[in-house]
Amino acid sequence: MKVDLARGAAVVRPAKGKSFDPTKIPRAVKDAGFTPGDIELTATGTLAQEKDLLLLKMAGLLPKLVLAGGAKAAELKQQTELVGKRLRVTGKLHPSHADQPPGLTVEQWAPLDK
């Protein structure tokens, strides 16, 4: 983990071969006596569609994220040929709502399969 107190930012990466649940970061920040801000996350997984939801399915402690909102969400939704393919998506993490998994805005995305 890298912390920049002057900017109020931290970079958190799992150890090689490990994963963590990024939705627990705001609570950890608050428990440390700070006010959590936006969490920008870069996640790698397989693009999936369930009903009207676009999902990023991943291995590890956080099995899936709903991909919605953000500058590139509509663009990604149009790429139906990418369903079932591996992607890297960067966006802002949002907590789960009702029975939905946590969400991630789509600010940037790139296919990993060649």
pLDDT computed for residue 114 by the predictor: 62
- CATH level 3 topology of 2-111: OB fold (Dihydrolipoamide Acetyltransferase, E2P) (2.40.50)
H helices of the chain, in order, are 25-31, 73-77
User: Sorting pLDDT into bands at 50, 70 and 90, what band is 109?
Assistant: very high
The full set of domain ranges for the chain reads 2-111
**What are the tens digits of pLDDT across the range 53-82?**
999 999 888 889 999 999 999 999 999 999
State the CB neighbour count (10 A cutoff) for residue 102.
18
Rounded CA gap, 91 and 71, in Å? Answer: 9
User: Considering the entire predicted model, what is its pTM?
Assistant: 0.86
Residues 6 or more apart whose CB falls under 8 angstroms from that of 5 comprise: none
